[in-house]
Amino acid sequence: MAIETNTKIGLISKALLLLGEKPLQSLSDDRYGATVGAGLFDLLYENELQSNRWRFACTKVALSRLSDTPLNQWQYAYQLPPDLLLLHHVYPVTRYEVYGSRIYTDAMTVSIDYLFKPEISQVPAYFATLLTYALARDMRNPIEGSEDAFKVMQVKYNMQRDRALFADAQGRPSTTVQSSPFTDVR
């Protein structure tokens, strides 16, 4: 059986292969490794997404202002997107507070940059590989019970994380810092 690429079952199967196990036939496989992988997958996926501002999982949106006026100090309330995992920036730059699924501010219009959870089939190969190593790292100890094996997988995970961070950073070119302290003083 060929292992599917960016699917839940495909990534868990690849993690099992890294651990020397056989790949899954289905998510309802009754093997211990399959149960551990299926149990950890969603948690590790969101954790890896939230560990960095991955460019492939970032988006911008203008928020809809709600009709009800907030209590206390804020003038306006806006509904946050349901797929928001992590708020990056609020435009215009202003004071605000987040309460549950709403953002409160005095700005008349608000747009945001935020991190969302894309379908696993839409993530780039470098991130899918990183998630596979994260799964293998966290599945290894419950399956094998070996601390040394965990350390080996942690090293492999760290190497892949460095590669993934580098690849993802290519989506935003660096900007030069232009400092002119002598002319700024004039």
pLDDT the model gives residue 1 = 46
Mean pLDDT of the chain: 84
Query: Token digits for 55?
Result: 């460019």
Q: What would the mean pLDDT of 101-112 be, rounded to a whole number?
A: 94
Q: Which of 119, 114, 121 is nearest to 85 (CA)?
A: 114
pLDDT tens across 30-85, in order? 888 788 888 889 989 998 998 888 999 999 999 999 998 888 889 999 999 999 98
Q: Does the pTM exceed 0.85?
A: no
Q: Which of 158, 159, 149, 164 is nearest to 18 (CA)?
A: 149
